[in-house]
Structure 1
Amino acid sequence: MALPKQEIVLVDFHNTTVPVWRVVNDTVMGGISESTMTNGEQGGVVFSGTVSLKNFGGFCSVHLHNTAVHDLSLYDGISLRVKGDGKQYKLILKTDSELNGFSYQFPFVTKKDAWITVHAPFQEFIPRFRGAVLSDAPPLNP
């Protein structure tokens, strides 16, 4: 089956407000990393912070609880337009609303001070639970 040529926008960062996003840092497990998400001066949003490995921490994240349901079965992946700092990030998707359920992760590296488009093919998302790869989990089925 041919993939659709039409794109759909899942999240329009130029027409979003920060309150729909939730910052989650390693402080939930005793870490001391800090991050924020703010509205950008020219639209969009800015995620920034400092990751600390002290106290067995080491992560900063933002979560969007997206209640909209999208049938993505005719698409091959998700594209992001990002301006970064040259570090690695992960796009993490969940297929259910369970807080402690496993997730599907796609790592990508940004370019310092440059806009790039990252394409995350669904088949390359890795199922994980608390950092461990789940070899018996089903592949991502959007």
Structure 2
Amino acid sequence: MTVRPALIPVLRYADAPHAIDFLCAAFGFVRHAVYSDADTSRVDHAELVWAGQMILVSSAIDTPFAQAARMRTAAEAGCVTQSLYLVVDDVDGHAATAAAAGAEVFLPPEDQPYGGRSYSARDPEGNAWTFGSYDPYAG
């Protein structure tokens, strides 16, 4: 996929360094940039790339924006209010890699009535991710 999107999801984590390691090992993201201060347990801004797509990751820092937006991590909120869907070629292989890296696969790979195959997993802080072969852009 070579589309350069203008919509980039932003995720906050209590333990962003661990989340970055997990997202790379389990879901196949690659570090594009990670900015931290001297305290390497805090991530001010990270850019992770997957198949030409990007997400931004940061530590759950109490900033004026976070306060005004009433941002919470999934764990702080006690629920998930959004999820991310990523198109993959090999759903079963991706699910196996994710599970081996510690992802909680809560819906195993399954054919979907609208076409394609997908599975859903949680990252260590409770965010929901779905990976599927259905590409809504393919028509």
TM-score w.r.t. the length of structure 1 is 0.26
Q: Which has the higher strand share?
A: 1
Q: Which has the higher helix share?
A: 2
TM-score w.r.t. the length of structure 2 is 0.26
